Amino acid sequence: MAGREAALREMRLKEEPEESSESDEDASQWRAQLAGKAKVVGGKGPVKWILPFILVGVSSLICMWLLHIATFYYVKGILRFEAAFKPNPDYKEDASTQHFFSAGLTPDSVSYGSLQDPIEAQLGFKDVPLKALDAVALVFPFLWFCAVLYLQDVQAWTKVLLCHSVLAVGKGIFGATTIIPDSIGWANCKKRLGPAGLAYFQNEVPDPTQHGLWTMCMAILGVELRGPSQDRIGSGMRFCADMIYSGHTYFTILYILALCDLLRRALGDPSTRLYVETKWKRKAILVSVYLACIAQQGIEIFLVMSNRFHYTTDVVLAVLLTFLWYTSAPVCIAAKWWAQLGTKSAQEKEQPEDMVLIPRSALSGDIWLPVLGMAMDGISWLLGGDHVLLALLLHQRPPSRHQ
């Protein structure tokens, strides 16, 4: 087999024109040097942990910058709306329609100026403090953070933080490109921004029609870095109209998936510190964690929608996009490549001609399909035994009867 590959390489070299040999040789040397430098940098343990963390910081800054641009446009737009349209004082609304629509009709009512959300109209409005939402959202990220550091799993660390970065930038782009009215309404937006924040967006941001879009964006970036008065670190302001998609939901979903995936692998791997030898104990622990995660996420979504912090669409899209990115093959491959970069095993196994920037052994990722995995683990544990038909319906390989 090795002789056949060598012969194929020799045939390809013979078929290439002579004048391109020098350029190909230069390109090969350049790639080899770049690969060597990447291996040296990537092989350093602290670098592998620090760079993904820095990536999250940069992506979060971009996200907040774009969301404050969206906030500026929303504030200006709602003020224009109020100046152009006046409510009809003679209009008397039927009491039955108050439960039919989610948006209020007066500036002081909940969801004034927002889009209609039939599901949230049925749920009604419940005032939930933002600190409570933030506290609920931080539970499982904290548990995952402790677990991944305890297990020293750099691949899981890289994969999750890469997903976090992509989701954060995506949320900022969606928020800034199409301004969706805030789901909780104008009155609550003003309360969230505070008098100083509202005054800044209303009067101090450069007018893009006079100074240009770039000047306006750079002014808001300066606020993002050093505050409106350029005297502190960070803007210190929350957002309005940061709708598509829900940040709280994608944040909690991502780290719930990460924690479940990490525990699923660690409990069944004898080389880890969390290995559980007994199979039924492993399944019992996993099912308990799955149920706790589902309950926590259900509470988080209920609080977000009851408080009108996001539309139903925002929550659904956050769930779908988080699953999409977490189970994405390119993300899994990138995380595995970064974890293997510079390790001795990779250097010993790879041939020189196989090493460019990404070793061939890293062009495969460990992809987990959590919905099917949870269903199989839960149902199989409850029913017991080997259920071949159930496994086929869920597109899972049935377990061997000799295990």
Least confident of 12-16, 180-184, 204-208, 248-252: 12-16
Percent of the chain topping pLDDT 90: 21
pLDDT 10s digits, 265-324: 888 888 888 888 888 888 898 889 889 888 888 888 888 888 888 999 999 999 999 999
Q: Where do the structural domains in the chain lie, given as residue ranges? A: 49-87+101-339
pLDDT value of residue 6: 55
Q: Give pLDDT, residue 66.
A: 94
Lowest mean pLDDT among 103-107, 165-169, 389-393: 389-393
Cα 147 to Cα 108, 170, 379: the distances in Å are 46, 27, 26
Average pLDDT, the chain: 77
Distance CA 341, CA 41 (A): 9
What is the value of pTM for the model shown? 0.74
Give first-to-last CA distance, the chain, whole Å: 34
pLDDT at residue 92 in the model: 79
Q: In this prediction, what percent of the chain has a pLDDT beyond 70?
A: 73
Least confident of 97-106, 316-325, 367-376: 367-376
Q: 23, exposed or middle or buried, with CB in 10 Å at 0-12, 13-18, 19+?
A: exposed
Tens digit of each residue's pLDDT (9 = 90 or more) over 194-235 = 888 889 998 899 988 888 889 999 999 988 888 887 777 878
Mean pLDDT computed over 235-261:
89
